[in-house]
Chain A
Amino acid sequence: MAARVAELPAELKYIQYEHSLESQYLPAIRALISKDLSEPYSIYVYRYFLYQWGHLCFMALDPVDSSLIGVVICKLEHHASHSPPTRRGYIAMLAVAAPYRGHGVATVLVKKAIDAMAQKNADEVVLETEETNIPAMRLYERLGFLRSKKLHRYYLNGNSAYRLVLLLRHIDPDGHEDPNGAADLSLDDMDTAPR
């Protein structure tokens, strides 16, 4: 494995993906993502995301030769299996080339993705990550994600995962807008509080 760089090359370029960049960057994106996967995704998986949500994909590029250093790929859809339905963003893939890790590259990419999703009125952003992937979990939790549940043996290698959730706005359980967001201040049920 290539040695870690002590410092990042000055000012990486962060750009939003678009279809015209496919031939230039898709092979590199696939190579970068596949490296940490035991089973590769077919090209259709990448295109599935990039064709529909290219605007939610961001790349970190080397300022000198414009080579790919990091990438995040997302989608944003209505999620209706629960009531009320929400607009749910999903971070599908994230990777930073090994030598460039630990310099905040992934953090910038994820922030850009969240910003883009928030701009498109996402209510929440979710993702899954392997229980053993400490760097990823730290990164997301630092931004405000919470582990909502553990998924038993979620991956083919037998590892479990956590579902991480970032709520961007209050979701009214009955599905209508919350007019004043007033919190329930009644204290009566607090009489049973231990202290």
Chain B
Amino acid sequence: MSLWRNQLHGPTDPAKDAGWEDPPPRKGFFTDTSICIGCKACEVACKEWNQLPMDHLGMTGDSYDNTSALGASTWRHVAFVEQDAERVEQARESGRLLAEEGPAGGPATGPRTPVALGLPSLRPGLHRITEQDVSRAPATGLPLTGPGTHVDIGPEATDLEAAEMAARQAAVDGTLPDFRWLIASDVCKHCTHAGCLDVCPTGALFRTEFGTVVVQADVCNGCGYCVPACPFGVIERRDRPTDANGERLKTAVKNEGVAQKCTLCYDRLEIGAKPACAQACPTTSIQFGDLSEMRQRAEERVEALHTKGFTEARVYGGDELDGVGGTGSVFLLLDEPEVYGLPPDPRVTTADLPDIFRKAGFAAGSMLVGAAIAFLGARS
């Protein structure tokens, strides 16, 4: 059983486990939700590149989210949450605790002590972390000077510093709405231990040399087992889409009845290109690269935000000691995962599989013994 255990959970290199000899470094996403502006460019780029059919039309009334959820024809989903200050305080507190004590079950990172700031900017750490030099970016839409703002920006100040001061002043004046957005682009986690892949009976789901998880549409038989096996609710069997009136379309769509999800643009990766969503993201909220680097960037960015007092920031996924052996998609969140519709402590179901089989074995054994007794004890 120890052989089983090593394969079913815990830290590992999934590409090597899958039999790839000398695979390239594992690839992954880092989605930094703190700089997501909700433009949905990732959703559109993904649909375009992967030629995903329309899934449903209509308004949900759930803030700006009319996409609803990841699914067979939605491989990037931008979530929108509108929050007030009370909730921000709670998020700040829970994030601070998380930083002090470390992820439960994982190593503690220790309290983050505020340090003297270097280059002032509204988005600390951006210079180090993203590929764009934001300091020379055009001024944002916030009014920096003029009627209604009492901001005196010195000659040395950057636009971003001025914007931050304007925001602070507005808070003092009471002209700043008691409101913040949470905007996050969700995607398949490309788990180290992927429930979807483990349970697939046909081998349609496989592990690529990049450590990602991909469905082969021509092998999938549509059994749908992967759908309830994913702890994140990502993969889905593609049904015939409905039109705006909820009527099923007359014509079949591509890969109908087959399970579908993000491939981390396997075709683009093979020619050395970035996934379509990362390519399209205008703010570098979606970053792509070697997974180890993605994890490091996430840690650094959270640390930078904490030193600025934004203790609501936290890393989600990527922790080798979590229930799925670490995700291939790492996120920076600004509140508890469930607020974004993510599971707070995901666990791959097959981690328990040896024990599940053992219990079933006892039951099967009891059935045999019981039947034998039933025959031996019968008088007629």
Does A associate with B in a complex? no
Which residues of A pack against B, CB within 8 Å?
Answer: none
